[in-house]
Structure formats: structure tokens, C-alpha cells
Structure 1
Amino acid sequence: MGRKKKKYVEDHIFRIYPDYPLMVLDKIAWAKAGANDPLHFHYYLEIGYCYEGQGTIMSEGKEAAFSPGSISLVAPNLLHATRNENGVYTMWGYLFVDLEDFVKLFSFIDERMHLKLCRQLFYGIQILDERKHGQITSLLKQIFKAADEKKGTYKVQIMNMLCAFLFMLYDVLEHDHMAEEEAVSLPLLPAIDYIFDHYMEQIKVGELAAMCHFSESHFRKVFQKMKGLGPVDYINCIRVREACWRLQNTMEPIRIIGEKCGYLSISSFERNFKKRMGVLPAKWREERRLYRKKERGEYEIKKILVEEQK
């Protein structure tokens, strides 16, 4: 009997600065995405536009179909992966938005609207069809164009267009049946918010259940149904995700990283990390550094080739 292949979470980490809480990636082609590709997190709201190809976006026990012209919304910190249909490549444009920092730049967004934008509106996975939402699609394409051309005060223009874009989405989703179907997970939000704010501390499932006014046994059942994994596994996913960022972007010792991510011992940290990432933290850090070095080299080569063709 063959050895069962482990699935693990790989966190795709970007850094977005508070004064410009946005990353734009356009015309990104993805080759075959198999059923065994790992799920991953983003710290930010992911907004995608599908130019070519079709398939599904998988997340926490659910899936949503996409095709050319689809606009996808993937909530921050959500396990997900794209599965291309029949192994055919797809082409996407992406916006990654740090909602928390974005809303701080606009004084007219009050606390109530802030809460809806950041906690109640953009969560789960949602797909919109450009044929039904032409104005939203047009604005999204204008953002891609401005980011590509980089003319004049393009960053200010993009931020203003993004503000209008998000409020258009708000109006659509606020009254759309998709938002109503996902509303069943809202009772878990106090616990989810607490996990993201306190993952570095020792968290008891009973306390999370009390925040949501559930018994512990009922909370575990609801959490498993809504999120696709139990609360303890979910906490460990968040901790490992944060550990990945520290391993990749700092020189902190592995023991210190484990402690900062909520693990009481290095053995517990290494056991949980390997369970989700397939290798020990030290090995993962080494592999990522080698990969990023190779990636930078390939980027420079591609950049030269593009410039030579112009």
C-alpha cells in the first residue's frame, strides 16, 4: 500500500504598505492546477477578474464556479485554491486590498460602515458575472489599466476608483442572495476575530463558544460545518501562517518564532508546522529562501526579454 500524500497549507504572502494598501497583478496566467495543489491564505481581500479559462475556487468545504468574465471575491485569511477545469490554463487580473488600512484613509467611512466592509461584507468566496455588473467590471478594468500605464498621479486615481468600486460591491452584495446564504456563519465572527487578534496567546475553545453564545459541543459542530475544520485546527492554521511570514521575512530564531505564534514548546511548534507544511520550520525557511532567490533571477531575465522586445 502506497504512502498517503499529505496535504498542507502554503501561505502566499505579500507586503502592502498602509499609505497604499493595494497590490495590482494583471494578466497572470496559471497553468494546470491539480486536485492536490495546497490550499493557501492571503492576508488581504482578493479581487480577481477571469480573462480566460474556467474551473472552481475551493474553500473550506465549499466551491464556486468561474468562467471568462467572472469577478471573484476571496475573503482575507481564508483557505482557498483555484482548480482549473480539464487542466487548461487560466488568465486572471488581481487586486489585493488591505481593507483595514484602506478604510483608515477615508474619514467619511464611519465605524458602522468600517465593520460591514471589513467583517460582515467581504467574507467567504463570492463570484459575480460581468454581464450583470457591467459598471463594476468597467471600473475594475480601469484600475488595471491605470496600474499598468503608471501615468501622473495614478496611485491617487486608483485609490479613488477602488473606493467607488468597493462601495458598488457593497450595494450589490448587501442585497444579493449570496450574502444572505453566507449570513449563517455570522454568529462565528466574534470567535474568528478573537482568534486573529489573540492567536499568540493560549486560546480555550470553551471561551470562544461563550463569545458566540453557544455550548462548547454545539460550537465545535457549527465551526466544523462552516469553516471545514475544527476550531483547534483553525487556530493552528493561523499560527502556522504567521510563522511562515516570520520565517520568510525575519532572522528570528525558530524557537522565538514558535513562542510569538502561540506555541509553548519548540516541539509543539515543529509538530504542528510539519503537519501543515510538510517539512520542519528550518527546512521550510531554507527552501523558501532558495525559491525566492531563483524567482528573483527569473524575474530579471523576463524583464530583460520584455524590454528587448519593446
Structure 2
Amino acid sequence: MSNLSSQCEHECDFVEACDAVELMIEPRERDLGGFSVRRVLPSAKRKMVGPWVFFDHMGPASFPAGEGLNVRPHPHIGIATVTYLFSGEILHRDSLGSLQAIRPGDINLMVAGHGIVHSERERPQITASAHRLHGLQLWLALPEHLEEMAPAFYHYTDDEVPALTVDGVPVRVMMGTAYGATSPVKTFAETLYVEAHLLKGQVLALPDAEERAVYVARGGLKARETVIPEFAMACFDGRAGLEVEATTDTRIAIIGGERFGRRYIDWNFVSSRPERIQQAREDWREGRFPKVPGDDKESIPLPD
């Protein structure tokens, strides 16, 4: 999805936690016109968790008949976008000619590389009646030697994502390897992305990773004596054997992976080199990015 705000870093409340929780990020909800977004990454005190450079929790949004998500074509460089829906549907189009409906449980991976343009809308069959949209949108920074790779598009359906039970907890290994399962979703560096549903009182050991964090999409957790409330992200240190316990029925996303060097972000552009971002800005302003087949009549202008 496009960064619909010209400001990449959202204001967040930061909680000083103890022990293995290095930082707690509690994002503030922001209305983007028709639906709300909680932007967790990047934040003022934490820019990335492993290769993850952007984390948005969108919705849940309720749309009346005739309305819905309508994000015009916009560009990206230097990242791979990951879209995962809890409910609803998004129609993805991009400048490679991809046309794909994203449904709950699917993983949509778009590799921007040296430059791609895409739009996110909804099919008329969806907007014809009242509906809801709810999910996560994340960006993976590409390793420096792959930042200018050729754009690509991958889509994985719900049944392709490994699902297992860990100590009674239903878990999906979305990207990377965890709990003895490896996701087929393509990665470009050591990457971790896991979803879990815990009932009140259930405990889940966190997978090991150089950097990792847990986001509470619904419910609440505690890590030893540290409370992790709904819509908060707890960033953990790298020690092994850490566990979280659900204080109520809870849905979480665990992200992480290898530590990356600094990335610069400007609107929808990410790079290890600020001059590359300036070039991308000028390329978009001057119309040098490719068009989206079937959706080439409008676009989002470059923000000031």
C-alpha cells in the first residue's frame, strides 16, 4: 500500500519496559479518510525490526455499499511489500501486469527493486454491498546488493502457508523458519513473520532471531511481569527461551530477522542511499516510472 501520509514516522507512545522487552511501541490511531491506520514502524525510537522497515495495522474498517478502498497507482523502490488480510479483499494491480485478488490468509509479496508501480482497489462485486476490511501491511527492506533488483510479484494462497500447533497454540509460519516449519514465501535475508492465536492463559515461546518483536493485533499479553496491551508492539532482545502469555484471547504477529544497516524513507521510497531516493522522486514527478496496465488513467502525485 502507499504511504498515504507524507510523514513516514507516526507519533507513538513509548513505554519503558524491563528485562527482555527493550521497547514498547503503542501507536496512535490515525484516520486516513474512510479507514483508520495504526503505524508502528518506523517510529521515532525504533526504525526497523530485522529487515522490517514499515508496519501498518489497517482497520477494521466498515464500508457502506458503493464505497471501499481506492488507492490509486503509486511507486515503490528498494523494498518488498507484504499484504496480509484478516478480513475483506483487496484487488492488486502492478506495472508488471499482475492482477490478483488478495483474500484473508493469503500472502501477497511485491518486490519493488529498482522500481514498480501498483494500485489497491476493490472489485465491484465487493463494493456492491456493505463490507469490512482489516489487515496488516508491511515492508521488507531489501539487502543493499538487491535494492536495484528486477521487480517481481509473488502470491501465496492460504493453504500454502504452513499451519501447526505449538503447545496447544495455533500458529502460521508466514515467512522464514520457526517451530520446525519453513514457509515457501520468498525471502531475501534472514526473515521471521509468524501469526498465532492464543486463548487466555496460553503460553508461547518466541522463535529465536537476531531482532524480533511481537505485535498484539487483538487481546493482550504479558512477558514475565511486563504487560503488552492491545495494538502495542514489544521489541525483545535476542536472548533464547523467552515466552509470552495471553491475558485474554489474543491474536499476535511476530516479526524479526537479521539486523540491517540504516535505511532512508521518503514517502514510498526506501534506500540505503539518500541520493537514490531523490532520483526516485524526480523519476515519479517526471513520469519515468512504468504504468499499471488496466489502471493507467490516474496516479497519486508526489507529496511536497
Q: Which has the larger radius of gyration?
A: 1
Larger helix share, 1 or 2: 1
| Structure possessing the higher relative contact order (Cα contacts under 8 Å, 6 or more residues apart) | 2
Q: Which has the higher strand share?
A: 2
The TM-score with structure 1 as length reference comes to: 0.39
Could you tell me the TM-score, scaled by structure 2's length?
A: 0.39
